[in-house]
Amino acid sequence: MRITAEQRAHNEHRIRTTINQLLGGDVPADGACDIKTLARQSGVDRTAFYGTRPYAHLRVEFESRLQQAAQAGEVPDPRDAHIARLKGDLAALTDRLALSKQNIAELTDFKSLALSRLGAQHDEITQLRAVLADPGNIRRRPVRTAIAEL
């Protein structure tokens, strides 16, 4: 079924209005900032945006405006911005996790070293106490008093 010029103009107006809404950030919850949502929101069959169909020039206009917005740093689809922010957060958390794992490994090595040194010191103290307990091989030095030196 062919449409009249008036119907085509009306459809183009609806499509342009929908393009402005989508690029302005008014993206429906069940859609995205893409041709599929544009077609659904404007009430036009999606195939009309491809090839030599009547609204192919509007698809090209929509995609170029979307690309310009992306290059300008604007993200019309709030979910895309949310996904980008979450990816950044994920990268930061991954770095923090790697640093934490490295710190834990270093502290575990330090703990092992400290425990082995404490064990060696305990063994040495125990050995020295055993030597002190056996007075047979140790002679005590005489204590000098200040009067004896004068």
Q: What is the pLDDT of residues 51-99, one digit of tens each?
A: 788 888 888 988 898 888 888 877 677 777 778 889 999 999 999 999 9
pLDDT of residue 138: 65
> Span 96-115, mean pLDDT?
96
pTM over 0.85: no
Rounded to an integer, what distance in angstroms lies between the CA atom of residue 22 and that of residue 62?
10
Quote the percentage of the chain above a pLDDT of 70: 91
Token pair listed for 32: 């995205």
